[in-house]
């Protein structure tokens, strides 16, 4: 990626939008991991009981 284009995007406020996109993505991933954990615990409860 061209560094000048990168700095142009950052100067135009692209950094904040990139940061918000990253935060949104990480929270989505965290929710997905929580869903997987609850699903696994439900399956374990079904099999163990």
Would you state the pLDDT for residue 17? 83
Task: Classify residue 36 by burial, with Cβ atoms within 10 Å: 0-12, 13-18, 19+.
Answer: exposed
Q: Rounded distance, CA 13 to CA 25, Å?
A: 19
Q: What is the dihedral of CA 29, 30, 36, 39, to 10 degrees?
A: -140
Q: Would you state the pLDDT for residue 1?
A: 57
- Give the three-class secondary structure for 12: coil
pLDDT tens, residue by residue, 5-49: 777 767 777 778 888 889 999 999 888 988 888 888 988 888 886
pLDDT at position 49: 67
pTM of the model: 0.47
Residue 15's pLDDT is 74
């Amino acid at each position: 990626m061209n560094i000048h284009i990168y700095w142009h995007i950052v100067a135009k406020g692209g950094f904040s939008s990139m940061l918000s996109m990253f935060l949104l993505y990480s929270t989505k991933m965290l929710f997905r991991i929580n869903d997987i954990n609850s699903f696994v615990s439900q399956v374990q409860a079904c099999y163990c009981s």
